[in-house]
Structure 1
């Protein structure tokens, strides 16, 4: 939140038992007050891919868990990744156990295209989980000469 934004107060009504559970949860997470926790919940809700415009440019991850023993599934997943190679920045593959693999795709592109990739992965036989998580990318924001140091820059 920028320093210039005006804070608006409003009331929320909820059952006593729900607010008690909520207060315990936010205390465990280290929040000092309800307001900041509600602001974070609101930000998170606004960042769900389903709440964004299909042509909006975003960056994020697709996290999937799958059974690599399912016939041709690893090959099918690799083919999909090649089909969407312009949207995939990086991948990480982790062997969870003898059967299951966890794979993380770091992605950037239009929400609609990334959602399409996630859905194509989710429906494959042997994929137990596939979730797209994104955040806004302001492609028109000036860089202000800001430079991120990377190990290869040294």
Structure 2
């Protein structure tokens, strides 16, 4: 695998901001500012609001809900069955007597994943539901995991 060509550029910041940034870098174990800036740029580029609806992505939908809300657990299961092609895995955690946390690992078109997240969020009894994109498939639409004939991990 070839190394990416690095491009140097200068950044001007107020002195107080750079002090705060250097503290941020030290607290997170970065060895230099460049590594931290690269990670921050990657994170910003993966924010769902900045991506196109037809992009293939992977990430998680995290939700917290009241499992005593009428029919909510069944509604959430039905929703997940409807979107089963986009769901890779789920993890369910009992937070306390009333609340559950569920993490749904998803992969597919951003528009469909946003749609699923929205349908979850509007259910009565859902206290929190957020889509977090952690991977952008650079190959584009129609080249998703399910379309791949071979799949290897090194």
Give your verdict on TM over 0.5: yes
User: Are 1:147 and 2:152 matched, yes or no?
Assistant: yes
Structure 1 residues 131 and 82: CA distance shift in structure 2, 3 A: same
Which sits farther off after the overlay, 20-29 or 91-100?
A: 20-29
Q: Determine helix, strand or coil for the equivalent of 1:71.
A: coil
**2:106 is the alignment partner of 1:107:** yes
SS at match of 2:20: helix
Partner of 1:39: 38
Q: Counterpart of 1:31 in 2: which secondary structure?
A: coil
Whole-angstrom CA distance in 1 between matches of 2:5 and 2:152: 27
Aligned Cα RMSD in Å?
A: 2.1
The C-alpha deviation readout for 1:65-120, integer Å capped at 9, x for no partner, is 11111111111111111111111111111111111111111111100010111111
- State the 1:34 CA deviation: 1.6
3-state SS, counterpart of residue 13 of structure 1? coil
Q: TM-score, normalised by structure 1?
A: 0.83
In structure 1, stretches of 5+ residues that fail to align are: 150-154
Q: After TM superposition, where is structure 1 displaced by more than 3 Å over at least 4 residues in a row?
A: none
TM-score w.r.t. structure 2 length?
0.83
Please list every run of 5 or more consecutive structure 2 residues that lacks an aligned counterpart in the other structure.
Answer: none
